Amino acid sequence: MAKYEAVIGLEVHAQLQTVTKVFCSCSTHFGDPPNSNTCPVCLGLPGALPVLNRRALELAMRAALALNCKIQPRSRFARKNYFYPDLPKGYQISMYELPLATDGWLEIAFDGNRKRIGITRVHMEDDAGKSLHEGFADSDRWTYIDFNRCGVPLIEIVSEPDLRTPAEAYAYLTTLKQVLEYTEVSDCNMEEGSLRCDANVSVRLRGASKFGTKAEVKNLNSFRYLSHALEYEIERQIGIVESGGTMTQETRLWNVAAGRTEPMRSKEFAHDYRYFPEPDLLPVMISEAMIAEVRAAMPELPAARAERFLRDYKITPYDASVLTAARALADYFEATVNAGAQPKSAANWISVELLRRLNDAGKEIAASPVSPASLAELLQQVDAGQITAATGKKVFAGMFDLGKTATEIIVAEGLAQISDATLIEKIVRDVVAKNPENVAKYRSGNEGVFKFFVGQVMRETRGQANPQLVNEILKRLLA
């Protein structure tokens, strides 16, 4: 690795968050019975005519603007011809010579560095169907096809070959996902195939200006696969070059079980697809006014939201960056504040207690057993001194594990803070009476022993005594 460097470019496909498909009005809903969301258009029946979904175009433009691209005034769909059972039209409708947007960038942060990664293009296309090779009694003999995905709107985001390490590629995909989620362009659900990634990888001697021959690694559908596949592929290519071999341009697949990339087919070239303009769709003409409209409707981006959190809520920059890492988490924080929690307490409890418990339980924020309103109720009681912070943590654990509200747990377990001065004084008197030596030490100037008395009182009250009252009464009685 000291001698070589890798050159990596990523092609990311993201499903646009529309209700209907890109060229027909069939539903895009995931998980419906196979082949229930189909019509003559997405099945490619003769004579059927596609019509572009305006919402899909708006979302694609939104992604392009968020990625700092230039939106082209005129773009055009083309037919990308190939034959495969999951592609009933015999071609995919995609933008080729005239893509929707070009020349953008995305800034990534990794290891304390920032780096701008070029975005070559963003274009729209339709998805193919899905071949089902498993799960049926006769799966050993037959492959089943589900056309529900056919015609689902996608954007393809092609990066410049600006990435140099698997860690940079990982940071790029993480940041891109964050942007697409924040802008509501895509839900980026990798399990449901809403975000897919292919990588172009080559290696060259460090300092060389010419690129080596690249391999395209397909279907890196999780962050883990992306890192592992890139590491494997870089080593494989260095091995070939070092042993005097020649790289061939090819498409490879990441074999998860075997932990290696495997040849899939020789890399196809553009001419293999016999691209030609899609005759059934008009060119896409985009006016400055439409760009302004899409820009005006753009949801707040992650960096802007972090700045607003600092300004409006006066939380620490660290908390702001943790809380805005995912949109759902930032939403959770704001909902907690809107439900009445103090921003600083909310930030602290969410970034420490809640995230730790979610992480331990392997849950996403969306599946949190504690709702923002419920957390706000707890924090109000802690901040008002009705329960101590230590008790608050115990109550929070119960809320998380049992799904009960703070008040239910506090009442059921008798955890409310003891603020009855007479009761506390009685306990303090007992403690003082039982420890004459320490009283003597305190009175002779050893103030360190004060902590011992606080500890004793807290033990007697199971940590529920109001700490301020305990301090006051102890000082008075020890004096």
| CA dist list (Å): 213 to 243, 246, 450 | 16, 9, 74
> What is the smallest separation between the CB atom of 258 and Zn ion, expressed in angstroms?
38
Q: Does 52 bind Zn ion (CB under 5 A)?
A: no
CA-wise closest residue to 57 among 71, 37, 43 = 71
> What is the smallest separation between the CB atom of 89 and Zn ion, expressed in angstroms?
11
Q: Does 387 bind Zn ion (CB under 5 A)?
A: no
Binding-site size for Zn ion (CB under 5 A) equals: 5
> What is the smallest separation between the CB atom of 276 and Zn ion, expressed in angstroms?
23
Q: Which stretch binds Zn ion (CB under 5 A): 17-25, 108-116, 137-145, 193-201?
A: 17-25
Pairing of strands 215-218, 74-75: unpaired
State which residue, 147 or 254, has the beta carbon closest to Zn ion.
147
Length of the chain: 479
> What is the smallest separation between the CB atom of 90 and Zn ion, expressed in angstroms?
16
State which residue, 127 or 162, has the beta carbon closest to Zn ion.
127
The binder of Zn ion chosen from 6, 12, 16, 42 (CB under 5 A)? 42
- Is-contact 306 320, C-beta < 8 A? yes
Dihedral angle of Cα 404, 408, 413, 415, to the nearest 10 degrees: 110
- Is-contact 247 241, C-beta < 8 A? yes
Tokens of 11: 């092609």
State which residue, 40 or 73, has the beta carbon closest to Zn ion.
40
Q: Does 373 bind Zn ion (CB under 5 A)?
A: no
Cite the beta strand spans of 55-100 per DSSP E. 70-71, 74-75, 77-81, 91-95
State which residue, 41 or 59, has the beta carbon closest to Zn ion.
41
| CA dist list (Å): 149 to 3, 31, 47, 130 | 45, 10, 21, 7
The binder of Zn ion chosen from 10, 24, 199, 427 (CB under 5 A)? 24
CA-wise closest residue to 39 among 114, 144, 113, 148 = 148
State which residue, 8 or 26, has the beta carbon closest to Zn ion.
26
First to last CA, the chain: 71
Q: Does 240 bind Zn ion (CB under 5 A)?
A: no
> What is the smallest separation between the CB atom of 34 and Zn ion, expressed in angstroms?
14
Q: How many CB atoms lie within 10 A of CB 323?
A: 24
Q: Does 185 bind Zn ion (CB under 5 A)?
A: no
State which residue, 26 or 171, has the beta carbon closest to Zn ion.
26
> What is the smallest separation between the CB atom of 50 and Zn ion, expressed in angstroms?
9
Q: Does 152 bind Zn ion (CB under 5 A)?
A: no
Q: Does 427 bind Zn ion (CB under 5 A)?
A: no
| CA dist list (Å): 422 to 92, 426, 428, 479 | 80, 6, 10, 18
Q: Does 39 bind Zn ion (CB under 5 A)?
A: yes
State which residue, 23 or 400, has the beta carbon closest to Zn ion.
23
State which residue, 26 or 128, has the beta carbon closest to Zn ion.
26
CA 316/CA 307 separation, integer angstroms: 11
Q: Which stretch binds Zn ion (CB under 5 A): 41-49, 79-87, 247-255, 382-390?
A: 41-49
> What is the smallest separation between the CB atom of 151 and Zn ion, expressed in angstroms?
5
> What is the smallest separation between the CB atom of 33 and Zn ion, expressed in angstroms?
15
State which residue, 103 or 280, has the beta carbon closest to Zn ion.
280
Backbone phi, then psi, for 156, in 5-degree steps? Answer: -110, 130
State which residue, 20 or 381, has the beta carbon closest to Zn ion.
20
The DSSP code sequence of 113-179 is EEEEEEEEEEEEEE---EEE-SSSTTTTT--EEEGGGTT-EEEEEEE-S-B-SHHHHHHHHHHHHHH
> What is the smallest separation between the CB atom of 148 and Zn ion, expressed in angstroms?
9
SS3 sequence, 186-252? Answer: CCCCCCCCCEEEEEEEEEEECCCCCCCCCEEEECCCCHHHHHHHHHHHHHHHHHHHHCCCCCCCEEE
Q: Which stretch binds Zn ion (CB under 5 A): 32-40, 82-90, 155-163, 410-418?
A: 32-40
> What is the smallest separation between the CB atom of 25 and Zn ion, expressed in angstroms?
7
Environment class of residue 440 by beta-carbon count within 10 Å: exposed (0-12), middle (13-18) or buried (19+)?
exposed
Q: Which stretch binds Zn ion (CB under 5 A): 23-31, 61-69, 436-444, 467-475?
A: 23-31
> What is the smallest separation between the CB atom of 200 and Zn ion, expressed in angstroms?
32
H or E stretch including 277?
A: strand 276-277
State which residue, 15 or 261, has the beta carbon closest to Zn ion.
15
The binder of Zn ion chosen from 6, 10, 12, 26 (CB under 5 A)? 26
> What is the smallest separation between the CB atom of 127 and Zn ion, expressed in angstroms?
12
State which residue, 28 or 202, has the beta carbon closest to Zn ion.
28
- Report CA torsion sign: 149, 155, 156, 162: negative
Interface residues with Zn ion (CB under 5 A) are 24, 26, 39, 41-42
